[in-house]
Structure formats: structure tokens, C-alpha cells
Chain A
Amino acid sequence: MNPIQRSSFEVTRRHFLRDCGVGVGKMALAGLLAEEIRAQSPGTQVDPLAPRPPHFPGKAKAVIHLFMAGAPSHLELFDFKPALSEMDGKPLPASVTEGQRLAFIRSDAAVMGPQFQFAKHGQSGMEISEALPYLSKIVDDICLVRSCHTDQFNHAPAQTFFQTGFAVPGRPSIGSWVTYGLGCETKDLPAFVVLSTGSGISGGSGLWSSGFMPSVYTGVRFRNQGDPILNVSNPAGVDASLQRDTIDLVSDLSRKRLDATGDAEISTRLANYEMAFRMQISAPELMDLRGESKETLELYGCDPAVPSFARACLLARRMVERGVRFVNIFHEGWDAHSDVVGNHRGNCKTTDQASAALIIDLRNRGLLDETLVVWGGEFGRTPMVESNAALGRSRGRDHHPKAYSMWMAGGGIRAGWTHGTTDELGYNIVQDPVHVHDIQATLLHCLGFDHERLTYRAQGRDYRLTDVHGTVVQSILA
């Protein structure tokens, strides 16, 4: 998308009135004003969320990003390094650690061997940790990237970097870019949805912010307690018929104002009341898992009554089915500065089954081909042990930005493939490094975007998700 196209949004709302004529009749609640408006003139971009084609046909139509916030240890889960066991208790050579900035430990901290057993699985023979028994069964569906690396070594900046391509909050998130590029397919749900499980996310709301883009591209939170979308329920004492009467009155009075003032913004607002009303129906329907079979619930390990990572994954599938473009599930809790074994056992127990179930479920429903699933954190963890009496820590691992693992599956990604290699310490990448900007470029590619052409003009220049970096990782594409 070029800046000219972008600026077309700015002339939108006021223009459409001229183009489609003043006077929008009173509409019933079920009326589809937005579509009417969209249908008025194929060339007129009334709605900044109108569906738009990408640069080229992309394989993926939607993305589910399972963000493992806090940063899982590649050494315990994906990247087996027996050499570390041999060096257990000894420091790494200074030549390896030289110049490395570390968050909590000192560079002469001792090595700690991998804490879990690994085995090869599937036809692909992908080597995976015993901590991920469910993932091990679907390795032939996923692509494991062992050579991810990032610029940041602390949580908030690294999470912000992964989500926005920049370490300081203020730029649009991946989901915002995708929504900006593709628009919204669903008529009654947001295009970009954010869920969170586990403990609190370090990066905060900047991780799904639209930054300098219009705020319609901001991710909409689905919450675990109270209304899934804030204020989606009617207040006490307001039933559906009062709500209907209210919106009818609003429509009626608004129409009169529209006639009097000619302010097209009024029509846009009315269309949004229509959509709000639909959301009031569709959001509870989305959250209602009674229609899911026992087998499906068991596949995910999901108790419909309890907010959990498993429920979030199942909801993500339901959202994608309903046309949501981008689902971000933040699962925070992998920050194992102490007791990496206990921490990762716990987090794997929470996430492994449902992550694998999501792939299986999407595949069984024929959705996997057009849904890109991304699983991973903001960085990896050090081969060196973290133990600090003053902080009460032992047998943990510190932050490691120079090498870590992620996996992807579905929508345009090569299945059963392992990409990239780290050195025998899991410290540096020795083959096929994949920078965060490369992941972003690849993700956009799967959706049909040239990451260098998907730009947005702000502050006098054209911004990209990938700044001036990023290369599509061709060899992980299907």
C-alpha cells in the first residue's frame, strides 16, 4: 500500500456522502448499513476497515500468533545441546561471551546442561523435548526455526520490538499492519483481537497498538473476566427491546440531523451503532462453547467455564472461522530466571496440548492452509545458569537475544522442516540466521504483502513494519 492509497482514508467519510447522496433511511437493527455503504461505489473507500486485496495472493488469510511472553528456553524445548552437559558447572570461554550484554548474570556464570531429554519424532525426524509431548506428535505439520535472533535483551523492549519492529512503544503492531493492509472481513467482530493468559504482559498495550496509524487498527482485547469486549453487555435494566428502541431512536434522530447538517460522520457513527449491536450478539455467541463437541474440548484440554490458554486457542479458531484476521494470544510466564525445570514443566503443561490441538483442529477443518500459526517468545535463554543468593534464584537461565527457537505452521509455511542451526552451545547461530525483522517480513509475505511496499506515511516519511530491514525467509515457505 502506498501513501496515496493511505491518504484516501482521510478523505473518506465526508466524501462518501456526496458520492452516495444525502439521506440514509431509517434502518432496522438487522440492517446492514455498512455493507450498503460499501456497495455504493466500488471505488470509494468509505471504510478504513473495508476488505482490500494484498499485493499478491497470499496463502494465509488469517494469523494466530501464540506469543510466549517471558521467553521460553530453546535449550529445554527445541534445540538439544548435549555439549552443555559436558561443560556443566564450568564457565563459557571468554571469547564466546565477550561483548555480550546480559540482564542479570555475569558473563563468567557456569554452564548448565539441558534439563530435559530430547527425541526425534515424525517422518521429518524433528528433535523435540520431552516437555512437549503433544507437539512431538505433530512435528510434521510445523516448521521449526532454530535460528531466530533479536536486538533486545529485556522483556518490554523485546516484546515491543517483535510486535512493532521497534523497541520503543509508538509504532503500529503486526496485527495493525495486517488490518491496515487487508481490512476487515468480519461484519460483527473486530478484525484484530488480543487475548491474554498467564501472568501480566511486560510490553503492555503498546503490543497491539496501532501506533501512529488511525486507532481503528488497534487490537481489541477479549477479556477473561467480565465482558469479553468492554461494555459489550447491556447495563442492568436494559433489555434487548430497550436497546433496539434506543438504537431506533438514535437512528431516527440522527437521520434528521444528517438531513439538516450534511455531516457524513453521522452516517459512519450510525453504521458503527449497527455493528456494535451485532457485536453484542456475536461476542457472546463466539464465547459460547456449548456448540463445541466433547472431542474438540478434550483435544484442547479446555474447560469451557475457565479462562485458560486452551480456551483462548479454541476461541482463536472460532474467531478465524468467523473472519477475524489476526489473533494475538499472549501467554506470559516463561521468564525462568530460577528453576527452569519447574517453570517450563508448568508452562508446557498449560500450553503444549492446546497449541498442538489448534493445529490439528485447524487441519481437520481445512483451515490450516489459510491460517498461519506462529509460536514463540521475544528471545531465548542463556546456556549459562542463573543463580543468585541475593535474589533467591537458582538453576534458572537469563535472557539470551542471540539465538532462540520458534515454530510456525499452516498458511504458506513449509511443514516438517527445521530451519537454522546454532553452535554446540546454543549460544550463537552458525547457519541461516533469522532476525525478528525477517520473521515479520515472512509473515507479511504469507499474507500476500511485500513488506517493503506495505508502508504508512507518518511524520514525513513512509514507515514499514520492518523499518529498513528484513528479508523473506524463502526456505521456510511451502
Chain B
Amino acid sequence: MRNSFVYRLALLLFCSTLKANADDLSFSRDVRPILSDMCFSCHGPDDKGRKGELLLSDYEAAVKGGESGESAIVPGKPALSEMIRRIRSNDPDVSMPPPHTRKKLTLEQIGILERWISEGAKYEKHWAFAAPVKPAVPLSDFRNPIDAFVNAELAKKGLKPSAEADKATLFRRLSLDLVGLPPSPEELARYMADDSPDAYEKAVERFLDSSQYGERWARKWLDLARYADTNGYEKDRGRTIWPYRDWVIRALNADMPFDQFSIEQIAGDLLPGATVDQRIATGFHRNTMLNEEGGIDPLEFRFNAMVDRMATTGATWLGLTLQCCQCHTHKYDPIPHREYYAMMAFLNNADEPDLELPNREQERGAEDRRARADQLVDALPRKWPIHSPTEDSSIAWSVPTISVSTDPAESTRVLDDGSLLFPPSGPASSNIEIKFPSLRGKFTHMRVEALTDDSLPGRGPGRTPHANFVLSEVEVRNNGQKVNLSSGLANVEQFGYSAAAAIDGRMETGWAVHADGKDIHTDKSLTIAFDTLLDASGDTQVLLRQQHGSQHTIGRLKISFGTSDTDPAELEQQRRESLERAFAGWLEQQTSSTATWQVVVPIKATSNLPLLTVQPDSSIFVSGDITKADTYKLDLGKTIAGITAIRLEALPDPRLPGRGPGMAYYEGPKGDFLMGEFQLTADGEPVKIASASQSYAKNNFGSQAEASYAIDGDPETGWSCAQGQGRAHEAVFRLEKPLTASSLQLTMMFGRHYACSLGRFQISVTKDSGEVQASKLPSEVQGLLHKADRTVQENQRLKKEFLLHAPELATYRAKIEELRRPPSFLTSLVLQERPVENPRATHIHHRGEWTQPTETVEPAVLSVLNPMPSGVARNRLGFAKWLVSRENPITSRVVVNRAWASFFGRGIVKTQEDFGFQGTPPSHPQLLDWLALRFMEEGWSFKKLHRLIVTSKTYRQASNSNAIGEEKDPDNVLLWRGPRMRLDAEEVRDAALRSAGILADKMYGPSVFPPQPPSVTTEGTYGAMTWTTSSGEDRYRRSLYTFTKRTAPFAFGNTFDAPSGEACIVRRDRSNTPLQALTMLNDVTIMESAQALGKHLAQSNGTTEQRIAEAFARCFSRSPNPDELAAVQAFYQKQEQRFASAPESAKSLSGDGPDDTMSVRAAWTAVARALMNLDEFVTKR
């Protein structure tokens, strides 16, 4: 029974789609699909798998026959044709297709083949590969040619078009189609009130001009672009490529011509004077997934991304299943294996950087901060401490009486010596405000003493168990004005917690006293100098902030004010002298400990794969692909005699990921590197390295990362500078004994469980003796140390460096470094063509295996399509131009067909992704060609195409069924009625928000996190992602802006067939499932929408009927009929009564609002929820 059903169905399908009739037999429409499906997998274009040396996809070859010697086809004589004989044979050794394929031709199919042979067996070029020829528009009264074409086909079938849909229904359809949203009540009212004859056309223009148009059509394009906000695969970490998404919205709103739209996305970087936007556009092909799993071969997954780019390009522009040719020549379409890789070669010559997007505001901010840092540097000499103030006998101290308030409140006691004692157990953090009502006089200094006391834990002075404290910040106010504090000096400072940190304006730093080798249980004091003389007149106030937590607060303290009788000028003199003394000492110390380095320019620099290029400044820049085990070999030639050490500088560069110095771009931090081994050979003999030192070392995974690990013989351990990206670092390798070589070779090995080679570096040598060590000073400063005749500027440079390194000024340095930190610009993933000196070769891969590359191929386009346009370069840009060339027979058809399908639910070619032999032939071939040519003639304008479609009578038909149509054309292929289909996932959610009146109209920007159950991203996904729900308007943005995580897609979208972004999707499924019912009934966004609409209805003035009518208008853009009105009214009344007696339920359901209207709100919420659950709500009709 089942089989007979299948047979019946097969006949039905066969008859309805092929439409073979006695009048005309078309090779393309009727014959080739049979040959393709039944024969070509063995007798088609792929010569590798070809059986019996027989080719049936070509007339000459088919007539000639295969190895049996028989003519497969004898034109005009089916009975003599071997093909027919075998198809009809029951002998399993002879019959075709062979029994093991389990394919069998139907009698109808055999009949078609026989008729075709008897009529001469004419082959035709496949319709999609032949250039469209502008067909004559069938004669008719229709103004819009679409209608003429469609009605001509309907008439052939004896079908009539349906009447125009009613005004409101059509308006809702138009709104959903052009802007992806149901009309707002205001839009609907405005339209319904407009009786002018061109009301519809005006509405079309309004929608086309709306910024929401771009949002709606961008979502469709993003399906093709496989857009997502994460990298995919196991780690599936976040990425920033939403600027590309915004580019698409803007381009569509601007009606950018599709040819330009395509060129910018495929090759925007190669356009002359490419703008930032044009480079952002190349994000299209950066939407490929990135595998960050530790054990992978990054180049293998780069290849997989290339395969994805080919499939996506094929589906998006060419309507071809190119992916079939990764492993072998296409089984059906005339696309050889080689041509697939030749075409890949166009796309395969790009690097994949993160493009920093310039931002004027950020740049100005950075300039301001740099200027402030420079000012601070210039001011550093004045901050130089003169002497230890505790020993300064010149200050006369006095202890004024005080009044104290603390936050949190604590009981305090003033002791006889004027000090203030706190309880032994203090708060975690504290702010103390001290006033000095009796303080009068002029003061230069203030002193804060932290004193021991037997009542304190461990006798103090701090109140932690080990008696420490952190004084985060001291502030002084005089007559309400903040007093500038010029220096802070203490008798004891803990490492990293200097006295100056208590007056640096930063709460996260402070003064602490747990110093190595010193008894903590002694009195401590901090002396602070005022910038200008403090003139006290009874309104002086000191604020002590202690914010370190964990009871790091002082247990007993005393505040004194003092005046130094030293002459300020004399003080300044002292300061200068002290500074000069320290500088001289530093210079001497640095000069003796820093070696004299001589930069070496390698004669030759090679590697296993990346390209090493010597830069004008003698550094080496690395470009191209890196692997998990890269080896750099540098021929340093004949170097100076008596080398004692070699220095490797790892240098930052804006061209590198994370600005370098490393090249890590996945799994590890961007710009990370790990040098596993550093080996020297002199005249063929290994050179022994005695020791290694470095300016900085840090490991991103694990702890050991010092340079000494690069000489331990184990390539898995090495030197790494994690968290030091964007800065220069150096390692110095000291030789066991001085070396003189006529040929010095350096080998550096890089890599760990991810690729992390060094991206820019410089090599120097020294012959200095002694313990040559790596220096923290910049190398140009190191050079100056040994320069004989330094200029004034050079000396100033050295002094600045000294000031920045002096421990006495450490807190200022932290501030300066913070100010100098470059801004972190927004980035977007882009393509960037590789430099001419380092092209990436593209190979044919045997069976499509990454591990089996064979010969290299040069870029070339598919031979079955148009040739490259003249005058274009054989690169990605030329390829892009070829794709959208007027001569390309297929692209325009593919694009208009996709647009058609968006409106009608089905393409003129049903298989939108496959225009090849296996695709379904077009239902309206002439219309398709006419539209394709018109689209190009009108400048590839989407808006013009969309306008043309929506103003056709075909589009404007009612979508209701009728018996004749259902019988003759149940799938509405011929368009006897208007389109009717379920909304896309995003449109369903957006419709709920719009109907409720809570849809936010904010456009662009980072993706947002609307509510969904936390388990979606935490359970079962690697590295569980916390879905931090957005608040405010971001909770209710259009679904286009929802964050898309590939391995755990947004649940609402997933339930309604939104793609995961893992592959290019041309046609979405439109499923109808119980999970969708559960979502519409219970999902939080639908509930919040129902509550918002319920609240609105509850508050509106009107009868119950009027409110129901408004709900219908908002949800369905129409009025209820009397039956519906009665049903909803009955439901409302029943629920209202129920909620009146069930306040708990009413409260939960009604959401925000006053209690006395709770049951009304709850009942209207229930109404809204029910309406949103109707099929009509999720359907375009």
C-alpha cells in the first residue's frame, strides 16, 4: 500500500512539475533532469568515477558510445539506442541504472527519453548557463509585466487569478514583506483613512524609505552570510563583527546597487582607496567559523573555512552546489575538480586581520591623555622627595584638638596625647572625617601617625590580625577648598604600597606598612607636604579613606600639623641637588650594567612557512600563515669578534594581532608568542648558551615563561610575554665563552598548543664582558647610555627615563602609564589581500582532503560560465567583478529568484540554492529572465525590484484558497492566489513586541541579550556562557540584534527555524511544531508582550468591544467579525471574573500596575496572550 502511494505521488509530482505535454519537449526542462538524476553519477562530467567510458552529458560522446562500442544514442532511432535498450532491459547484468543503485526509471521517463531520441536527441545548453534573453512580454492589459507573464501561465492551466486582498490584509502583508513588522496601529489607521487612488503606492514608498527596510532585508542577507557573534566549534568564544551587520543594514537602506554591494563584500579591501566601510564589508567571508580547540591544526581549519567560503559563494551568487567539487568533479554539473580549486585561488590569497575602526572621539581622548601624561612627566622633577621627613628636625609639629566622625560609625576615644584610638575589631573599610575647630596658623606639612596600642590585635598599628593597614587616600580641605598635596613620605613603606600612593587620587592604591625585614609593631608615620601654605582658621578638615577591605584600617592614629622653617628656594635647591645626585648614580649604574649592543642584520631569514622580511630599521617582520611549530632560521653571517651575548628584542607592530609582538590569533591572547627554543650554531658547531635573562616574562597557561626555558632543550617550554602585548620586550642570552665565528646561524622555535610565533623582532650582539643582563630600558635608551657625546635632548631623554624608573616616583609612573595606554578601538573582522611578495598558493586537494594537496592552481573562473571581463585583475576584485558582470548568465537570476521567494514563499526556481542540473526548472522561465535582465538594467536596485513585485496584481491577490486552484495547482506554483506563509523567527518575536507597543526602535551597535532561560547557554555547552539579560530598551530590540551563539543558539529563534550561523542558509525551513506552541504560550518575551498589550487594553477608554477591536488591529491589522468578537468577549468576561476571585494569579499575570485594576489587567493579558497564539498572528497572509 505504501509503495502504491509513493508511486501515485511520484506520478503526481512528476506530472505537475515537468508539465511534459504533447506540444513541446524541452531538453532542459524534461530530459536533462532525468539523465542527471539517473545517469550522470556514472556517466556525467566526473571522469574519475565514470563507468564504461561512457559520457551521456554531451551529444558527441553519447552518440559515439562507451567501451562497449555501441552508440548509446542513435538520433532518431530510440530502438537502436543502447541507452534505451539497457533502460528497458530486465537482465541485471545489462539493465540501467544498475540494480545496486536502486534507481529505476518510470515508464513516463522512458517515454520522454524515447521521444527525445526520436526527435533527434538535441542537447541544449542548460538553461541557467545560457545568458538570459529578454523575452517579449505577453500581450495583455496588465501594466506590470509580472502580471502578464503570470497570467499567461495561469491561462494555460485554465486558472484565474484571485481578487485583490482586502485593504488591511494587503497592508499588513506589505508591511511584513518590506519592513518585517506588522503595521503599527497608527500606520494602519493612516493607511485605512487614505482613500486616494495611489494610497497603496504611497505606502510602498514609505516602507521602502523606512530605516526598518534595511533591518528586514539585512536579516535575509545575514542568513547567507552565516553571520554570528561567536566563533563556533568547541570554544565558541565571542567575536566582534557586528559592524559588518550594521554595514549590511546601511547598504540596503541606501539601496546600494547589488553589483557594488557584492564587490565590496567580496573584495572591498582591494578597491582603490578602500574606505573603512568597504573594508568592513569584507566581513562577509569572515563569518566563517574559527576553531580554537587546543589540539587542532589551524591551517586545516583555515582550509575548512575556505571550503565554506566556496559553498557560500556558490549558493549566494551562482546558485550552484560548488561544495560537491571539493572532493571530485561535480557529479551532475559541468564543474571539474580542478576548476573548483582554481576558483578557490581567487579567494584564498587573503589574510584575516581584525580591523581597528578609527573613532575620532577615542582618538581625541587618547591625545588628551597623552598630553596629560606628558605634563605629569614634565612635573616629575618637582615631585622628587628631598629628604626623609621623620628626620626633619626643622619642622615644628603641633597636635590640634579634633572632632571625629566615621563611616561606618565606630566608637572612638581621644587619648591624652591627642591620638585617636579605635576599637580592636574594625570594619572592613572605613572613611574617617576629622575636623580641627581650634586649628589656627600657617602650615607647610601635615603628619599622619599610625601608632601601636596594647588594645589592638597584635598591638597595631593596623587592625588586621597581622597589624597591617592600607591608607587608600588622604584628602585635606581648608575652608571648603581641596588642598593640593605635593608629596607624601613615610618612614616605612610596603612594597607596592608607597606613601605617595595615599595622595595619588586613586582609591585602589594606598600606603601600607608590612615591609620586609622591619618590625610591623612600631609607630609609623606619613608626612605630607602642602603645595602651598595652608592658612588654617578653624575650618580645616582631613579625610582618611581606607578602602582595602578585610579590616585594613588604622587602630590608633594621630594627626599633627607643622611648619618647616626651611626657605622654599633652599628646599628647591636641595631637591634639585638630590635629584641630580640620584640621576648621576642611576646613570652610572645603568651604564655599567647595560651592554653595548650592535644590531645584526641577517643575511638570510627563512622559516618553514611564514615570510620573514628585514625592515628598513633592521628588525624582522613576519607575515603570512603560522603553524603550531614554526622554526625561524637566521643566517647572521660573519659577526663581530668575541661575542659574549645575544639580545632578542620582541617588538610590537600595528600590523600584528593585538599589535604583537606575537602572532597568536586564536585560543591564546591575540599577539601572544612562546619561543620554545633559541639555538645558535657557529661554523656548523652548536654554541653553548650559559644563561638567559629577560625584561619581562609571563605565561598565559601555566607559570613558567622565563627566557631560560628557551635554552632548556624542551621546545614545549619557553619564553612568553602574555599580557605584555603592544609593548617591546627583550631577552638576553649569554654565551658560555666569547665567540668569534665566520658564520653564525640562529634558530628560533615557536608554538605551543596553539600557533604563537613571533611577529617582529630584532637581533643584537655584544662583546661586553661581565654579567650581561636584559634591561627594562627601551633599547634606544640603552644605546644612549654608551654614547660619548650626548646632545641636550639625549640627556633629557635619559633623565625622563630615570624619572620614570625611579622607585621614589613609582606611583606617578603608574599614573603616566595608565594615561599612555592606547585606546582599545572597536574592531571588525575583515579580509586583506596578501602582499605580492608573499602570495598563498592554492592546491588541488585529492579527495578534498586537507592533508592531500597535489598540484598548485592559478586563479580561474568556471569555464561553463562567462569568461573574466576584460581588463580586470586576476584577483579577488576581478573575481567579484566577474560574479556581477552583465555577462554572467546566472547571478542576476539567482538574486531576483531569491527576492521573489521572499515575497511568494517559493522561488520561480524552487531550489533557490541549486540552479544546476539537479535543481528544479523554473516555473516561469521567461519571467525569471525578464526580471533578471530588468534588475541589471535598472542598476541592480533592490528597491526597484521590490517595488515592481509588490505593486503587481499577482502580489496583491488574496491568499485564500479556492477549490479549482487547490485541485489544479495545490502548491500555488502558478500563483493563482497571493502568498501565505509563517513568519520567520525574528518576525514572530518582533511582531509580538510591535503589537504590544514595546518594540525599541534603536538601531545598530553591539548585539543584545533578550531574556531566555539560563540553561540555554549554560547547560551542555562548552565553557558555559552566562547569558546576562539586557535591560532597558535592549531587552526589546528587533531580533536582528540578538546575540547569536553558534553552539547554543537563542532558543526562541531556534524553535522557529532561525539558522545557527554555522553554514550559509538559502532557504529556511518553515516548521510547525509543538515546541513553537509552547514558546508562544509560555516564553517570557511573549508573556511580557502580552502583559504590555494587556495593560494597554486595560487602561484604554472604550467598551470591551472596542478594546477587543484594538487588540485585533494590533495583532492582526483587521477588525474582528461578530463571531470572533463574541468568542473573545466571553473569554474575557470569564477570565475577569476568575481573576477577581484569584488575586494571586491575577497579580502574577498582570505584571506592573496598581492592585485595584489587577484582575482587569490580568484578563486583558490573557486575551492578548491568546490572540498572539493564533496561527494568524505568526502568518503572513
**Contact flags A219-246 to B (C-beta < 8 A → 1, else 0):** 0110111110111111111110111011
Q: Does B566 sit at the interface, judged by CB under 8 A?
A: no
Query: Among residues 435 to 478 in chain A, which have CB atoms less than 8 Å away from a CB atom of chain B?
Result: 452-453, 459-461
**Does A137 touch B at the CB level, under 8 Å?**
no
In the complex, residue of chain B having the shortest beta-carbon distance to the beta carbon of A260: B960
A342 CB to nearest B CB, Å: 19
A230: which B residues are within 8 A, CB to CB? 1013, 1015-1016, 1051, 1055, 1075, 1078-1079, 1083
Contact A231 B1072 (CB under 8 A): no
A194 to B1020, CA, bound (A): 10
Interface-forming stretch among B2-10, B277-285, B925-933? B2-10
Give Cα distance in the complex from A276 to B304, angstroms.
Answer: 40
Give the total of B residues in contact with A, Cβ under 8 Å. 125
Q: Which of A250-301 contact B (CB under 8 A)?
A: 250, 252-254, 256-257, 260-263, 265-266, 268-270, 272-273, 275-276, 279-280
Q: Which of A205, A246, A256 has the most CB of B within 10 A?
A: A205
Tell me if B291 and A154 are in contact (CB < 8 A).
yes
Within 8 A of B (CB), among A386-424: 388-392, 398-399
Among B1164-1180, those with CB < 8 Å from A are: 1166, 1169-1170, 1173-1176, 1179
A194-211: CB near B (< 8 Å → 1, else 0) gives 101001111111100100
Query: A330 at interface (Cβ–Cβ under 8 A)?
Result: yes
Q: Tell me which of B753, B1072, B1162 contacts A268 (CB under 8 A).
A: B1072
A430 on the B face (CB < 8 A): no
Give A106 to B1128 CA distance when docked, in angstroms. Answer: 72
Residues of B contacting A102 in the complex (Cβ-Cβ under 8 angstroms): 295
Quick check: is B1047 within 8 A (CB to CB) of the other chain? yes
The answer, yes or no, to whether A30 is at the interface (CB within 8 Å) is no
Partner-binding segment picked from A2-10, A72-80, A318-326 = A2-10
A154-B296 in contact (CB<8A): yes
A256 and B1124 contact, CB distance less than 8 A: yes
Whole-angstrom distance between the Cβ of A390 and the nearest chain B Cβ: 5
A265 near B1179 (CB under 8 angstroms)?
A: yes
Q: Looking across the interface, which residue of chain A has its beta carbon closest to that of B1146?
A: A237
List the A side residues contacting B1075 at CB < 8 Å: 220, 229-231, 276
Does any Cβ of B come within 8 Å of A13's Cβ? yes
In the complex, what distance in Å separates the CA atom of A226 from the CA atom of B1051?
14
A25 in the interface (beta carbon within 8 A): no
Q: Is A169 an interface residue (CB 8 A)?
A: yes
With an 8 A cutoff between CB atoms, is B608 at the interface? no
Q: Does B1019 contact A (CB under 8 A)?
A: yes
B1128 pairs with A101, CB closer than 8 A: no
Q: Can you list, as one digit per residue, whether each of A360-393 has a CB less than 8 Å from chain B (1) or not (0)?
A: 0000000000000000000000000000111110
B1081's partner among A43, A246, A252 (CB-CB below 8 A) is A246
Instruction: Give every chain B residue within 8 A of A204 (Cβ-Cβ).
Output: 232-234, 236, 1021-1022, 1046-1048
Q: Which residue of B has the minimal Cβ distance to A14? A: B970
A56 is an interface residue with CB less than 8 A from chain B: no
- Interchain CA distance A388-B294 in the complex, whole Å: 13
Instruction: Give the size of the chain A interface in residues (CB under 8 angstroms).
Output: 103
Cβ < 8 Å to A, chain B residues 1077-1115: 1077-1079, 1081-1084, 1087
Residue of B294, B716, B1083 with most partner-chain A CB within 10 A: B716
**Contact yes or no, A461 B1, CB < 8 A:** no
CB atoms of B13 and A4 under 8 A apart: yes
A31 adjacent to chain B (CB < 8 Å): no
Q: Is there an interface contact between B1020 and A231, defined as CB atoms closer than 8 Å?
A: no
Chain A binder among B171-179, B698-706, B782-790: B698-706
| A10–B83 alpha-carbon span in the complex (Å) | 33
User: Which residues of chain B are within 8 angstroms of A203 by Cβ–Cβ distance?
Assistant: 234, 1047
Contact A229–B1078 (Cβ < 8 Å)? yes
- Whether, in the assembled complex, B914 has its beta carbon less than 8 Å from a beta carbon of chain A, the answer is yes
Contact of B960 among A221, A233, A261 (CB under 8 A): A261
- Checking A201, A272, A392, A399 against B702 with a beta-carbon cut-off of 8 angstroms, the contacting residue is A392
Q: Does B617 contact A (CB under 8 A)?
A: no
B residues within 8 A CB of A156?
233-234, 291, 293
Listed residue (A14, A238, A280) with the most chain B CB atoms within 10 angstroms of its CB: A238
The answer to whether A235 touches B913, judged by C-beta atoms less than 8 angstroms apart, is no
Chain A nearest Cβ from B1051, distance in angstroms = 5
Contact, CB under 8 Å: B699 / A390 = yes
Chain A proximity of B1078: nearest CB distance (Å)? 4
Contacts of A91 in B (CB 8 A): none
A245 to chain B, nearest CB (A): 6
A214 at the interface (CB under 8 A from B): yes
Q: Say yes or no: A7 contacts B1078, CB within 8 Å.
A: no
- The answer to whether B1127 touches A249, judged by C-beta atoms less than 8 angstroms apart, is yes
Q: Are A215 and B1166 in contact (CB under 8 A)?
A: no
- Measured between alpha carbons, how far is A53 from B2 in the docked complex, in Å? 10
B1148 in contact with A236 (CB, 8 Å): yes
Interface string of A135-174 (1 = CB under 8 A from B): 0000000000000000001111100000000011110000
Interface residue B427 (Cβ < 8 Å from any Cβ of A) = no
Known: A220-B1075, A231-B1083, A461-B331. A246 touches B234 (CB 8 A): no
A59 at the interface (CB under 8 A from B): no
Who on chain B is nearest to A167 by CB?
A: B304
Given A224-B1015, A272-B1073, A460-B332, do A101 and B297 touch, yes or no (CB 8 Å)? yes
Cβ–Cβ < 8 Å partners of B1147 in chain A: 237
B1115 → chain A closest CB, angstroms: 11
Task: Tell me if B1 and A43 are in contact (CB < 8 A).
Answer: yes
Kindly state the separation between the CA atoms of A22 and B1151 in the bound complex, as whole angstroms. 40
Q: Find residues 78-123 in chain A having any chain B CB closer than 8 Å to their own CB.
A: 101-104, 106
B842, chain A: closest CB distance, angstroms = 19
CA of A202 to CA of B1020, assembled, Å: 8
Is the Cβ of B1175 less than 8 Å from the Cβ of A196? no
A-binding segment of B409-417, B998-1006, B1131-1139: B1131-1139
**Across the interface, do A257 and B1048 meet the contact criterion of CB distance under 8 Å?**
no
Q: A7-B13, A205-B1047 are in contact. Are A249 and B1022 (CB under 8 A)?
A: no
Q: Is the CB of B627 closer than 8 A to any CB of chain A?
A: no
A390–B1175 contact, CB under 8 A? no
State in angstroms the CA–CA spacing of A205 and B234 once bound together: 11
Are A242 and B1135 touching (Cβ within 8 A)? yes
The answer for the CA separation of A53 and B3 in the assembled complex, in Å, is: 12
Name the interface residues of A316-355: CB closer than 8 Å to any CB of B. Answer: 330, 332
In the complex the two chains form, what is the Cα distance from A257 to B961 in whole Å?
12
Contact at B1078–A169, with CB atoms within 8 Å? no
A4 to B1060, Cβ gap below 8 A? no
Instruction: Verify A276–B1077 contact, CB threshold 8 A.
Output: yes
Whether B6 pairs with A8 at a CB distance below 8 angstroms is: yes
Measured between beta carbons, the chain A residues less than 8 angstroms from B1057 are 215
From known contacts A11-B970, A42-B1, A202-B293, infer whether A169 and B1062 are also in contact, taking CB-CB under 8 Å: yes
What residues of chain B lie closer than 8 Å to A227, measured between beta carbons? Answer: 1013
Decide: B304 and A250 in contact? CB cutoff 8 A.
Answer: no
A243 to B1166, CA, bound (A): 9
B-chain residues with CB within 8 Å of residue A460 when the two chains form the complex: 321, 324, 332, 911, 914, 916-919
Query: A250 contacts which of B971, B982, B1087, B1170 (Cβ < 8 Å)?
Result: B1170
**CB closest chain-A residue, reference B1087:** A235
Residues of A at the B interface (CB closer than 8 Å) are 2, 4-5, 7-8, 11, 13-15, 17-18, 42-45, 53, 101-104, 106, 153-157, 167-170, 194, 196, 199-206, 209, 214-216, 220-221, 223-227, 229-239, 241-243, 245-246, 249-250, 252-254, 256-257, 260-263, 265-266, 268-270, 272-273, 275-276, 279-280, 330, 332, 388-392, 398-399, 452-453, 459-461
**Additional pairs, 14, CB under 8 Å, beyond known A4-B6, A156-B293:** A2-B102, A11-B970, A11-B971, A43-B2, A106-B716, A168-B304, A168-B1063, A253-B1127, A261-B961, A265-B982, A270-B1175, A279-B1074, A390-B674, A459-B323
**Mind listing 11 A-B residue pairs with CB under 8 Å?**
A2-B102, A101-B297, A102-B295, A169-B232, A204-B232, A205-B1049, A206-B1062, A250-B1170, A261-B959, A261-B961, A270-B1175
Please give me the 6 A-B residue pairs with the lowest Cβ-Cβ distance, nearest first: A103-B295, A204-B1047, A237-B1149, A237-B1148, A460-B918, A262-B961
